[in-house]
Chains A and B, each alone.
Chain A
Amino acid sequence: MSEAALIGLFVATVQFGTLVFLAALGELISERAGVLNLGVEGMMAMGAVSGFMVGLETGSPWAAFFAAAAVGALVGGFHALVSVVLGADQVVSGLALTIGGLGLAAYVGRNVVGERPETQFTDLGIAGLADIRWFGEIFFDQPPVVYLTVGLGLAVWFVLARTRLGLALRAVGESAPTTDAVGHSVMALRSGAVMAGGAFAGAAGAFLSLYMAPGWTEGMVAGRGWIAVALVIFGAWRPGRLALGALLFGFTLALQPRLQSFDIELLGVEVSRISPALLGILPFVLTVVVLVIISWRYRHRPSPAPAALGLPYRREER
């Protein structure tokens, strides 16, 4: 295997890692506030198609990126309305969002399928650093969204851990009545978190359609939304572990299309003969393993999962 191919693998790892990290970061915000959103796949599709279309119109990748985030927030707002304000079942609403979002994206984008992109993100090539052998190309010659996402990861960590808003968000994800009783608005906190999560997912979708696979085709999200949902569990609802998990999941995603070209033997098996489909399920297998480890390690103390995750809240109830 050539050096260039290996570098290509790691470059793609960072990019796929960014894709699922960005979407998972949004899901983490939502889940830490106690709202499960299984609509990530649908929100990403909506973000991908709207980002691509705004890119066609404006010719500006940033306008497209933020428009996609706004659309994601709007779609997240629908989930907030149904499951937070109206108190409907979060699982059902989220699944509806995935199915409906995929369908709506296909409808909205039916006329732009296969069109050549007007614009797309380009690699930054940070001066001085991009020329470093190996690392330069992998870490310092990536599109700006990669660095923005790293910044967002730090910001989410800071807000959750070090601010009053973050404390209230964490509290509402653990116990809505407690948070209500001290005077925070459960509805505002949760709706805001879900919409922020939607914005992140929409932006991730735009990263896909404006850089990773420029253009729009139906089904282009291809399950990465579900990987993001799994990643939140894999990362035990913590931004730091989420980043590590994103690199691992990104690696499996990057490896998938390249597998056939490897002429290495691993434990007596020729790697190139492993089915890429098998590799595709690896993130989910790892997630289940982590889930089992978590439930065993946390048998005597509160699980890292937000205690109120999935529970709607209504006040005057007896």
Chain B
Amino acid sequence: MASENADHAVWLRGIEKQFPGVIACAGADLRVRPGTIHALLGENGAGKTTLVNVLAGVYRPDGGEVWVNGQRRHFHSPADAIAAGVGMVYQEFRLVPSLTVAENIVLGAAPRLLRSSEIENRVAELSAAYGMAADPSRPVWQLSMGERQRVEILKALWRDASVLVMDEPTAVLTPGEAAELGAALRAMADDGRSVIYISHKLDEVVAFCDEATVLRLGKTVATVEDLETVDRAALAELMVGSSEGGYVDRPPPIEAGGEALVLDGVSALSDRGLPALSEVTLTVRSGEIVGIAGVSGNGQKELAETIAGLRSPTGGRVELNQQDVTQTPPGARYRLGLAYVPEDRLGVGLAPKMSVVDNSVVRSYRSQRQGLMLVMAQCLGFCRDLVEKFGVRVGRLHDPVAGLSGGNLQRLLLGRELAEQPSVLVAAQPTRGLDVQGVAAIQSHLVAQRADGVGVLLISEDLDELLALSDRLMVMYEGRVVAELDPDAATRGEVGSAMAGQVSA
């Protein structure tokens, strides 16, 4: 066995890692050969970041083995992993903005006495060797995202990392910078180092990487030895997959009513100020579920936020029940009948440290008050009804919601949003990460809303869920709606192709 292990720069074997209420890795495997760029694919929550954090010594695995360069390792801290040659470039850069490029690079392995001219010269030599330009004397806060990423990579090379882990490296880059990154990574691979490349941008993966491992729900579901021969649509399908358990069946179509939600040529920017939505036009009628499919990061989050009023569109119109709400603030949209279940349920959806009862009334407190005062008895009554009706399992109503499981959080959130009979419901990833029961409960609520004449926009990464629940299915790619499909007729393969940006005209 030893010789077989020696063939791999990295071998993660049956890694298990559990967090309170979440199983992040459930026996994940990853093998990376030296001198290759290895893609690690999977949807959000598939366990990619947890898996590489085990390799980087940030998390200790509950089970499984970590092998690096042919040796079994037990990392107790990031320092151990660095010493073993594992360099990690996080999505959120780990750089100190007020320090210079050179100081950031040598931090962790600096000479005892620092002479800035000396370390700057040595850093300059290193960056020249890999063709990654970076002015060593500049403070990091002045750098662009692409430059900061180079500093991160140089930091790993300064420690002579033999394995470099990149977590979604191009998310922050312009297309030009992304191409430069590809070249730099190839130079490192040619130098005998290996790169683990986490991404869900399939174009890049195919362009930059040699091999791939696909994770789903914390398990390795596929390994691809030669990315040149593989079909992108097949990769997309592997990534989204299906969760266990049956889906709630959509009752036969009912006559959809009037236009409840209309988007007309809506464009918006991402948090980083790059175009994220490009002229999206769609209509949701009363009594139908419109599904939005897509590999995450293709504008779905910005779409939901723009409809909810949390993100200002740069162009286009949003109409709610025939009323122009493009400039209307979120609270007023709620009073006009818009319910919103955000993707980030604990944080955006619910306030973690606030109690169950406080969270349950933050939307509808106006009907629980007398003059300026909230009537606690009334709030409690409201909360009790909600908890019962939506089957939220809670301890005490005054406990903070942070202690609830994902499924119960989502039931509470959905219940709160639906409490005042909205006419439109926007649900972003409402079943992600939930157990089978939770998934079934949330889905049946969505179907019940549809039967009550609510127009539902369902944004999901679960293809089976979308195919089962949607009356119409739209596919987003790079901020555009690239296809509209009939869920009864479309195959998973067709949806997968559209998600990969391959649209048969």
Contact = CB atoms under 8 A, between A and B. Distances in A.
B88 interface: yes
B99 A170 contact: yes
Given A175-B95, A181-B90, A183-B79, 18 more contacts: A161-B114, A164-B111, A168-B107, A171-B99, A171-B107, A174-B97, A175-B96, A178-B96, A179-B96, A181-B94, A183-B77, A183-B78, A183-B83, A184-B108, A302-B98, A307-B97, A315-B58, A316-B58
17 contacts: A162-B114, A162-B115, A164-B111, A164-B114, A166-B114, A167-B99, A167-B110, A170-B96, A171-B103, A171-B107, A174-B99, A175-B94, A182-B94, A182-B108, A183-B108, A184-B108, A316-B59
Given A182-B78, A183-B77, A316-B59, A167 B94 contact: no
B88 A163 contact: no
Nearest to B82: A183
Contact of A181 (B78, B99, B111, B115): B78
A177 interface: yes
Contacts of B60: 316
Contacts of A163: 112-114
Contact of B141 (A168, A179, A302): A302
B40 to A, nearest CB: 19
B59 A177 contact: no
Nearest to B56: A181
The DSSP consensus for interface residues of chain A is helix
Nearest to B141: A302
B232 interface: no
A301 interface: yes
A164 B110 contact: yes
Contacts of B90: 181
Interface string A237-258: 0000000000000000000000
Interface residues of A, number: 25
Contacts, number: 79
A182 B114 contact: no
Contacts of A318: 19
A7 to B, nearest CB: 41
Contact of B114 (A167, A174, A179, A184): A167
Interface in A65-122: none
Contacts of B77: 180, 183
B82 A174 contact: no
A163 B19 CA distance: 39
A221 B60 CA distance: 49
A173 to B, nearest CB: 9
Interface in B98-125: 98-99, 103, 106-115
Contact of A180 (B78, B95, B139): B78
Contacts of B78: 180-183
A298 to B, nearest CB: 10
What's the interface size class on B, roughly?
Answer: 20 to 34
B216 interface: no
A-B pairs with the 4 shortest C-beta distances? A182-B108, A183-B79, A178-B94, A164-B110
Interface in A111-142: none
B155 interface: yes
Instruction: Determine chain B's interface SS by DSSP, over half rule.
Output: loop
A178 to B, nearest CB: 4
Contact of B103 (A167, A181, A316): A167
A161 to B, nearest CB: 8
Nearest to B108: A182
Interface of B: 19, 56, 58-60, 77-79, 82-83, 88, 90, 94-99, 103, 106-115, 139, 141, 155, 159
A179 B82 CA distance: 13
A164 B98 contact: no
Nearest to B81: A183
A181 B88 contact: yes
B185 to A, nearest CB: 20
Contacts of A316: 58-60
Contacts of B97: 174, 302, 307
Contacts of B114: 161-164, 166-167
Interface in A299-318: 301-302, 307, 315-316, 318
Interface string A279-310: 00000000000000000000001100001000
Contacts of B95: 175, 178
B113 to A, nearest CB: 6
Contacts of A174: 96-99
A294 to B, nearest CB: 14
Contacts of A307: 97-98
Contacts of A180: 77-78
A181 B155 CA distance: 11
Contacts of A170: 96, 98-99
A93 B364 CA distance: 39
Contacts of A167: 99, 103, 106-107, 110, 114
A177 B111 CA distance: 22
A254 to B, nearest CB: 35
Contacts of A164: 110-114
A177 B58 CA distance: 10
A184 B98 CA distance: 18
Most chain A Cβ neighbours within 10 Å, of B103, B114, B115 = B114
Which of B60, B82, B108, B155 has the most C-beta atoms of chain A within 10 angstroms of its own C-beta? Answer: B108
A8 B110 CA distance: 48
B284 to A, nearest CB: 35
Contacts of B155: 182
B113 A179 contact: no
A253 B187 CA distance: 63
B176 to A, nearest CB: 26
A180 B112 CA distance: 18
Contacts of A168: 107
Contacts of B79: 182-184
B113 A162 contact: yes
Contacts of B111: 164
Interface string A148-175: 0000000000000111101110110011
A154 B36 CA distance: 50
Contacts of B56: 181
Contacts of B106: 167
Contacts of A171: 96, 99, 103, 107
A180 B79 CA distance: 8
A301 B139 CA distance: 10
A184 B107 CA distance: 9
Contacts of B112: 163-164
A248 B82 CA distance: 47
A164 B107 CA distance: 8
A178 B78 CA distance: 10
Given A163-B112, A164-B110, A182 B98 contact: no
A164 B77 CA distance: 20
Given A164-B113, A167-B114, A316-B59, A182 B107 contact: yes
